[in-house]
Copies of this chain bind each other. A is one copy, B any other.
Amino acid sequence: MNTITLKSPFDMHIHFRDGDMMKVVAPLSSANFAGGIIMPNLVPPVDTKEAVIAYKSRVMDAIGDDDFIPFMTLFFKPYTKEFLSDVRDKISAVKLYPAGITTNSEGGVESIDTVALAPTLNAMSELNLPLCVHGETNGFVMDRESEFMSVYEELAIAFPKLTIIMEHITTKDAVNLVQQYDNLYATITLQHLLITLDDVAGGMLAPHLFCKPIAKRPEDREALVNIAVSGNEKIMFGSDSAPHPKHAKENCGCAAGVFTSPIALQALTQLFEANNSLDNLQKFISDNACKIYNMQPRSKNITLIKKDFKVPEYYEGFGEKIVPMYFGDTLSWSIKS
């Protein structure tokens, strides 16, 4: 196969940031995708109706004329049903961060107490509003996600009608759990399908591959690839594309996040092809997300052709450079312009 057309590709987990950075990165997503879930961890977090509307407006400005739907989200806090009802038609999900677990998550929840959170989560269930979760404890870095599995189970049992999205899963444990409860779903990033901790810290330290959750063991990656390429209907693509200026990545105390938006479709096509699963890419990149979020696909299609794509060393704007995953490398699929 030398071309593949992806119908309505969605990126179900993106960090557009804000201001100057968003002006650089949002168009790199909107060029290649039909829409995406825009995460709310700004400073301050997006936690009011006004903030959602204002952020969406800035996102639309950054996108310009591209045909791209930003699915807005709220930063999880205890919200009333009244508030959530009022904001429901402006948002696609609410994103829960344990406090301090990743970039700009300081205002997240201190402990995940299903009793204390019940009013908010019951209201979300009734409003069919999905809960997206950054599922990590503050334990040892390689165990944080696995240690969080009991929290996911507790949430899944306590709120059986709530759609719970296990964001950016990285472990075999998460792959196993997502299949055990009807109301659990998951996104998987590009990098967690491609790298392990070896790529981050096995040779030289590789700041541009450092993210949270950190890439795990070979058997974890294998489990992620297997479920993604199978087309399993619980699994969606969410890049977690998370840009930082080059100097904030390549310094002492490198920030967490891998920037993948502009290379994601090309690299995913290469990966699915290598796994003889190109037929399932449509499910991973759009169909499953439409079912899980109860959305209609857009009419936008993206065609890829089997032709070398040299990944830029960096993207540029506002006097900063933003380095993508695979900078300087060559991928075997390109987006047809």
A residues adjacent to B (C-beta < 8 A): 140-142, 196-198, 200-202, 204-208, 210, 214, 217-218, 249-256, 323
Contact = CB atoms under 8 A, between A and B. Distances in A.
Contacts of A142: 142, 197, 217
A205 B254 contact: yes
Given A196-B140, A197-B141, A205 B202 contact: no
Q: Which of A200, A201, A205, A256 is most buried by chain B, counting CB atoms within 10 A of its CB? A: A205
Given A141-B201, A200-B201, A207-B252, 11 more contacts: A140-B196, A140-B198, A140-B217, A204-B253, A204-B254, A204-B255, A205-B253, A205-B254, A208-B252, A250-B250, A250-B251
Given A201-B210, A205-B210, A210-B201, A218 B140 contact: yes
7 contacts: A141-B198, A141-B201, A142-B142, A201-B210, A205-B205, A205-B254, A206-B252
B198 A214 contact: no
Contacts of A218: 140
Contacts of A253: 204-206
Contacts of A207: 205, 252, 254
A68 B249 CA distance: 40
A197 B217 CA distance: 14
Contacts of A205: 205, 207, 210, 253-254, 256
A213 to B, nearest CB: 11
Nearest to A100: B203
Contact of A252 (B201, B249, B256): B249
Q: Which of A141, A250, A252 is most buried by chain B, counting CB atoms within 10 A of its CB? A: A252
A254 to B, nearest CB: 4
A44 to B, nearest CB: 22
Contacts of A256: 204-205
A310 to B, nearest CB: 18
Nearest to A253: B204
Contacts of A250: 250-252
Contacts of A323: 252
A44 B217 CA distance: 35
A152 to B, nearest CB: 21
Nearest to A208: B252
A96 B257 CA distance: 38
Contacts of A196: 140
Contact of A140 (B197, B210, B214, B255): B197
A201 B217 contact: no
A201 B204 contact: no
A196 to B, nearest CB: 7
A123 to B, nearest CB: 34
Q: Shortest 8 CB-CB distances between A and B: which pairs? A: A205-B254, A141-B202, A204-B253, A250-B252, A205-B210, A141-B198, A250-B251, A141-B197
Contacts of A200: 201
Contacts of A198: 140-141
A140 B208 CA distance: 19
